[in-house]
A and B are shown apart, each in its own frame.
Chain A
Amino acid sequence: MSPAWLRVAAPVAIGVLFLALWEGAVRLCGVPVYILPAPSAIAQSLWVDGPSLLGSLLVTLRITLAALAAAALVGGAIALVFSLSRIVEISFFPYAVILQVTPIVAIAPLIIIWVHTPFLALLTCAWIVAFFPIVSNTTVGLNSADRNLLALFRLYGASRWQVLWRLRVPTALPYFLAGLRISGGLALIGAVVAEFVAGTGGSETGLAYRILEAGYRLAIPRLFAALFMLSVTGIVIYLVLDVISRRLLQHWHESATTEEEE
């Protein structure tokens, strides 16, 4: 196994090398800043426009986190209902799939027409993108309870609810958390796509709209700065969910195993 420092140093070195090549190529070939700005120009834009971009980021982040929370709650609840009734599951699951495979860009205009509050409209779009991995993962998890443990619960006279809360729900937790990590990234994508379609969304301007605006104005360094902030946000969301997941599963699940323990 490679040492821990190499796991950090190697990707960082690649990143620095890539930025240096980019900077060098842009300067040597004299690429105009409205086609491809050098990393130094992007950094400068990040410094200058950072505060106002950060305000927009908070708008987008609020929609993302609200959509993720709604996806976790509603998705988890839908999965619970599915697990309680096989007939409900086979009746409704195809429609969850349809909602998932229909491109959000195509339904976003409709949602924005139907839902008058801009925040709720954007939230709905992001939620549609984010809820499916949680529903499908959690449904699988709830149905994955160990057969012998199920038999044991039956032997000791457990009720349906006891089987659900003491056996099926804990069994499903790692599946739910894996779904949540996927949904975290999807909620951000959903929020950005919805903002693209919706435009300013009232008085508050999200980061996606700032990207569009920067594109129209050929303020390409600012566009890159906003993109950079979006990527960092996505990474932070993933890392936070990963830490939460490890915390919750640390005592028992293989996915949270640290190397010393095994």
Chain B
Amino acid sequence: MAGSSPAKAAEECVQALPEAEPPATGEPILALRGVGKRFASGLEALSGIDLAVARGEFLSLLGPSGCGKSTLLRIVAGLSPPSAGDRRLLVDRAPGRIGFVFQDPTLMPWSTVRANVLLPFRIAGVRGTEPRERALAAIRSVGLGGFEDAYPRQLSGGMRMRVSIARALVTDPDLLLLDEPFAALDEITRLQLNDDLLRLWERHRPTILFVTHSVFESVYLSTRIAVMSARPGRISADLAVALAQPRTRATRMSTEYVAMCDSVSAHLAQAMGTA
């Protein structure tokens, strides 16, 4: 671990816990004001969501199943209109500025890894050598060099998820949205992909919105955690994660990590009404 001593970091961390202001890492990239979502069935999935995200943040949306995390992510992506409030996206609206990774790898089974990763360019009608080089670079950056011509069926679940991440990264998006991407994977693969995602974030610093229901995952990965409560989904706590960067496996052993997990768990329990 680089940087400050564990004790000092722990002190900072504890001080940062209650009602901390999110770290201002850059210009704002996304602003949600009073966003609500009511489905045609009458179910109120989200209510009064205020959220500002700054460029370069790694924000986790943490909450129990059914709290509307995924709905919120779809609203941010523009895939689902909010029924109340206002979504302002302060990035270029051109396709490819937002990357989305679903819980399932969501690959085209009839296409090779290369063709799957090239999809955003193919849709945009961009041809030539540059997209191919970028696809190759994206595939290598998720550790799948040499698998360009494999079909999804020939890959393991973890490898498929890497392809999905490569496809989201290939356009070099300003905003990367991940909807419980590792929830269906086994623990070993999940830890590995957590580290890989952190390395990608450190290298390219995209703004990341990461939906998860794992306290440990959210603390390990994020610079900030929005804890959500259910029915209707609201943001019940907005917490800065002041753990030192870069995060490594040693981070998981540190006292400040444990303290942060403890605190986040307490907020989550409160949000779920079981505190």
Contacts and interface: CB of A to CB of B under 8 A. Distances in A.
B95 A148 contact: no
Contacts of B119: 152, 156, 166
B100 A152 contact: yes
Interface residues of B, number: 23
B95 A149 contact: no
A155 B77 contact: yes
A49 interface: no
A167 B120 CA distance: 13
Interface in A119-163: 146, 148-149, 151-158, 162
Interface string A187-218: 00000000000000000000000000000000
Instruction: Specify which of A151, A167, A252 lies most central, judged by the most chain B CB atoms within 10 Å of its CB.
Output: A252
B102 A148 contact: yes
A146 B110 CA distance: 13
Interface in B147-161: 151-154
A251 B104 CA distance: 20
Given A148-B102, A155-B77, A252 B122 contact: no
Contacts of B154: 261
B79 A151 contact: yes
B93 to A, nearest CB: 10
Contacts of B188: none
Contacts of B110: 170, 173, 251-253
Contact of B151 (A151, A158, A162, A251): A251
Contacts of B77: 151, 155
A55 B152 CA distance: 48
A166 B104 contact: no
Given A151-B100, A155-B100, A252-B152, A146 B106 contact: yes
A156 B100 CA distance: 10
Contact of A156 (B102, B123, B153): B123
B124 A156 contact: yes
Contacts of A162: 123
A41 B153 CA distance: 52
A167 B108 contact: yes
Given A148-B102, A148-B106, A166-B122, A155 B79 contact: yes
Given A151-B79, A170-B110, A252-B110, A156 B96 contact: yes
A157 B95 contact: yes
Which size class do A's interface residues fall under? Answer: 20 to 34
Contacts of B95: 155-157
B271 interface: no
Interface string B248-272: 0000000000000000000000000
B143 interface: no
B239 interface: no
Contact of B79 (A154, A167, A253, A261): A154
Interface in B58-114: 74, 77-79, 95-96, 98, 100, 102, 104, 106, 108-110
**Which 7 A-B residue pairings sit nearest by Cβ, starting from the closest?**
A157-B95, A252-B109, A148-B106, A156-B123, A251-B151, A158-B123, A148-B102
Interface of B: 74, 77-79, 95-96, 98, 100, 102, 104, 106, 108-110, 119-120, 122-124, 151-154
Given A156-B95, A157-B123, A252-B110, 20 more contacts: A149-B106, A152-B100, A152-B106, A153-B123, A155-B77, A155-B79, A155-B95, A156-B123, A156-B124, A157-B95, A166-B119, A166-B123, A167-B108, A170-B108, A170-B110, A251-B153, A252-B109, A252-B151, A252-B152, A261-B153
23 contacts: A148-B104, A148-B106, A151-B74, A151-B79, A151-B100, A152-B106, A153-B123, A155-B78, A156-B95, A156-B119, A156-B120, A157-B95, A157-B124, A166-B108, A166-B119, A170-B110, A251-B110, A251-B153, A252-B109, A252-B110, A252-B151, A253-B109, A261-B154
